[in-house]
Amino acid sequence: MMVAGIGSRRGVTVEDVLAAIETALEAHGLAMTALSALATAALKKDEDAIVAAGRKLNLPVIVVDDSALQAASPGTLSSSSLSRKLAGTPSVSEASALAVAGKSATLLGSRTVLGPVTCAIAISGDAP
């Protein structure tokens, strides 16, 4: 399972979200078709652009609750003071991706920042 974790400023566009996902995947030599799901933190559950990106890509958008976000936080590679303040995690995108990809998930690298959106790619530990 490969998951794109999404963090963003408020009011981003679906184009912003899709561009960040594409940029993150390209950095690892991957195509959109490699993704199994999108993930974001509960505080972003009403961010329409993230939901719209999932619809456009025909992927589920999984909202990670605060306890799962905190549990995944030690595995993050990046740190944002704003993310710590608002979500209690060093990186919303990285922690969300890790939480959804599963217990032995790993990040392919630190988050990609593209304008107002961050995207991190995590892969489950049981992937072939």
Q: What's residue 127's pLDDT?
A: 44
Indicate which CATH number applies to the domain containing 19: 3.30.420.180
**Does residue 128 lie within any of the structural domains?**
no
| pLDDT for the residue numbered 88 | 76
What's the pLDDT at 103?
87
Distance CA 44, CA 46 (A): 5
What was the pLDDT predicted at 84?
74
Is 111 among the domain residues?
yes
Q: Is residue 42 part of a domain?
A: yes
Range of the domain at 76: 2-123
The answer to the question of residue 7 being in a domain is: yes
Domain count, the chain: 1
For every one of its 128 residues, what pLDDT tens digit does the chain have, with 9 covering 90 and above? 999 999 999 999 999 999 999 999 999 999 999 999 999 999 888 899 999 999 999 999 999 999 999 999 998 998 888 777 777 787 899 999 999 999 899 999 999 999 999 999 999 986 44
| Parallel, antiparallel or unpaired: strands 106-107 and 117-123 | antiparallel
Does residue 93 fall inside a structural domain?
yes
Residue 14's contacts (CB-CB under 8 Å, 6 or more residues apart) are 48, 49, 52, 53, 56
pLDDT at 126: 66
**50 assigned to some structural domain:** yes
Please report the pLDDT score of residue 128 as a whole number: 46
CA 21 to CA 30: how far, in whole Å?
10
For residue 41, give both structure tokens.
């933190």
In a domain, 76, yes or no: yes
Helix (H) or strand (E) holding 26: helix 14-27
